[in-house]
Structure 1
C-alpha cells in the first residue's frame, strides 16, 4: 500500500520505512512554535520537567504577535514570561516588537519552514506551512512543552483527502475563495483529523500567498494539516527566503485517499462565509438583500501578505471608505509593512480613510485593534467567524477575500469589486 505525501514525511521523521493511517508514531521535530498566549502555559509546564534546557535553541520559534505591542498588564506579563525564557535559554528565533510579525506569515518569510519538515505549533493555524510541502499542525501548550524539551512528538498518522485543483481562477478570485468554497462544500468537520492534500495542474495558477491562505484554513475544515506539492514556485520561494536544505516528497500512485474532490478554479466566484461558521458560505451572486457592515478588516495570518495588500490597494485607490465605516489594514510582518510603504500602498489606504496597524493578530481573535460592539457587523479576511469571535456575542463576522473586504469598505455593504466597475 502506497503512502501519501504527509505519510511519507511522518515515516521519515519516525525512522520508519512505512506508516499507515491510524498508526501511532513518535517523530523528530524540525521546529516548535509558540506565541505570547500559548507559550507561557508551555513554559510553566516545562518548568515542572526534569530538563535543564530546550532540545535545540535553533529549532524553537517564539513569536509575540497576538497582543503585541502589549494592550494591557496581563498581556505584558505574558510577554515578559516568554522574553525571560527566550533569554534564559538563548532562543535564536525570538521575535518581539520591531522584529515580530504574525507568526504564520513570519516563519516562512524568515526561512524557518521548508519542504519535508515536521513542525508543531501551539496555535491551530500552524498548518499554514503545508503550502511549502511541510507537515505542520497545531498542538496544545503541553505538547509544545514536551516538544521544546525533547524535540519529539507523538502523532496518529492521518488518513487523507485528495483535492484535485484544475483550471484558472477569474479576476478577483483568490486562494481565500478556494478554501471557503471547499469548507462550504465539505463542512467544518469534513476533514476531521485528515490530511488535506492538494494536487493538480491548476495549482500552477495559485500564487504562494494563495497557497499559504488555503493551507492556513485547513483546520477550519477539521483537517490535521493541509499540504501542497513542491513545485518550481515553492522551490523559488524557499531559495529566496531560506538557507536550509529541503526534501520534496511525492505521494505514491497507489496512495489511499478516503475521498477525492475536483475543484475547477474557473467556476469559482468570490465567496463569503456568513455567521457563525466558516462552512456557512454563499457566493456573491447568492447574497440577496444587501448586508450592511460597520467594519472591514484586511490582515491576519490568513490574508495579511503583500499580494493581499496589493489587491486591497488596487480597489481602494482613488476611492473613499464609506462614511461611518471603519477599515483596518494590518500588514502581517514588518517586512510586508515596509514593502507596502515603499510601493505606496499605505498612502493609498490612508488617503482612502483606512487605518494601518502594526503587525498583530489584533481583532481576529477578539484581542484588540477592532473589537465589535453588540449588533455590529464586520467583513474580515480572517479565518474564523464564531459567536463572539471578534467582540460582543451579538456581533457578526463575515469571512471574505481582501478584494471583497476592500470593495465592501467602499460601498458599506458586502459586494464584489465588479460593483465598483472593476
Structure 2
C-alpha cells in the first residue's frame, strides 16, 4: 500500500523506506517554533537539562507575538525570558519588536518554512505551513524543549482524510469559507489525529493566502496537520521568500485514506461559525439579523495582504456603522508596509476603523479588543470558545474578511451582496 504526502515526509525524516498509520517513529526536525507564551515553559525545561547549547541555532524560531508589545509586567517578564535565552544561545531567528509579526504569517514570509519540512511549534496553529507542502504540527512546551535540545521528535504516524476540491470559488468567497464549511460538515473532532490532505483540480484556483487559512484551521477539525500539494503557485511563493532548497512529495496513487470527501468550491457561500464552536456553521443570509458590537480583521488566519485588500474594497468610500468598533491587525510588519503603500491603511482609518501593530492581541483574549459582558464580535480569527475573547457571556462569530468588513458597515452579520457588491 502506498503512502500519503504526510507519511512520505515523516518516513524520509525518520530514515525509513516507508511508514504506516499508527506507527511510532522518531523524526529529524527542520524547525522548532515557540512564542512568548509557550517558550518560557520550554526554556525552563531546557534549563533543568543543564544543556550548554541547542541542537542548531539556525533551526529554532522564537517569535514573541501574543502579548507584544508587552501589555503588562507579566508579559514583559515572559518576553525577557525569551530574549535572554535567544541571546544566550545565539538563536538566529529571534524576532524582536519592530521585526516580529504573528508567527504563522511571519515564518513563511521569512522563508523559514518550505515544502518537505518537518516542523513542530508550541502553538496549535503550527499546522499552517502545510499550505507549502510541509508537515507541521503543534506540540506542548515540553516537546518543544526536547526538540530544541535534540532536533528530534516522536510522532504517531497519522492516517488521512482526502479532500478532493473541484471548481472555483465565487466572488467574495474565500479559503476561510472553505475551511468553515469543512469543519461544519465533519465537526471539531472529525479529523482527530488525522492528516487533512487537500487535492484536486480546485486547488489551483486557491491563492496562497487561501491555502494558509485552510491549513491553519485544520486543528479546529481535530486534525494532526493539513497539507496541500506543491504546485507552480507554491513553488513561486517559496522561491520569492526563501533561499532554502525544498523537497516535493506527492501521495502515491494507491495511498490509503480513511475517507475521501468531494467539495465543489463553486457551490460554497459566505459562511460564519456561531458561538461557541467552529463547527456551528451557518450560511450568511439563512438566519435572522444578529446585531454586533465589534469586528476584528487579522490573526494568523486572516491578517495577510489578500485579507486586508478584500476588507479595504468593501470599506472604501463607506463608513463603519456608528457604535461599532472595528480593529484591523496586519499580520506582519511587511504586510503592514504593503498595506500603507497600497493606501489600505488610509481606507481603514477613513472608514472609522483602528489599525494595530502586528499582534495576536484579541484572538486569545489577550488585549487590543477584549469583549465585555454580552457583547458580540464578528472576527476573522480561528476560535470562538466560551470566553475566548473576553467575558464568558460574550459571543464570537468566526467569518471571512469579506463578511467581517460587510458586517462593520451594517452593524449586523452581513455579506458583500447586502451592500450591493
TM-score, length of structure 1 as denominator length: 0.99
Look up the SS of the partner of 1:91 in the other structure. coil
What residue is the counterpart of 1:369 in the other structure?
Answer: 368
1: CA distance between counterparts of 2:232 and 2:23? Answer: 32
CA RMSD after TM alignment: 0.4
1:394-409 mapped onto 2 (5 Å cutoff): 394-409=393-408
Structure 1: give runs of 5+ residues left out of the alignment: none
- 2:124 is the counterpart of 1:124: yes
Alignment of 1:79-94 (within 5 A): 79-94=79-94
* 2:357 matches 1:355: no
Answer whether contact 2:299 2:380 (CA < 8 A) is retained: yes
CA distance in structure 1 between the aligned counterparts of 2:292 and 2:124, rounded to whole angstroms: 28
Pairwise mapping of residues 227-376 of structure 1 onto structure 2 (< 5 A)? Answer: 227-287=227-287, 289-376=288-375
Secondary structure, aligned partner of 1:385 = coil
Question: Structure 2 stretches of 5 or more lacking a match?
Answer: none
Question: d(CA) in 2 for partners of 1:343 and 1:238?
Answer: 23
- How far apart are residue 51 of structure 1 and its match? 1.9
Where in structure 2 are the equivalents of 1:90-101 lying within 5 Å? 90-101=90-101
**Do the aligned residues in 1 keep the contact of 2:285 with 2:414 (CA within 8 Å)?**
no
1:50 CA drift (Å): 3.9
1:378 alignment partner, SS class:
strand
Post-superposition offset of 1:212: 0.1
- 2:312 partner SS: helix
Which aligned segments of 4 or more residues in structure 1 are displaced greater than 4 angstroms? none
Q: How does 1:173-192 map to 2 (within 5 A)?
A: 173-192=173-192
Distance 1:286 1:179 in 2: 19
CA distance in 2, matches of 1:358, 1:176: 23
* Counterparts of 2:286 and 2:80, CA distance in 1: 48
How many Å separate the matches in 2 of 1:141 and 1:253? 37
3-state secondary structure, aligned to 2:49: coil
1:155 matched residue in structure 2: 155
> Aligned equivalents of 1:291 and 1:50: distance in 2?
55
Deviation at 1:96, TM superposition (A): 1.5
User: Superposition pairs for residues 58-137 of structure 1, below 5 Å?
Assistant: 58-137=58-137
Contact 2:66 2:366 in 1 (8 A): yes
Report the alpha carbon displacement of residue 103 of structure 1 after superposing the two structures with TM: 0.1
* Distance in 1 of aligned mates of 2:24 and 2:86: 32
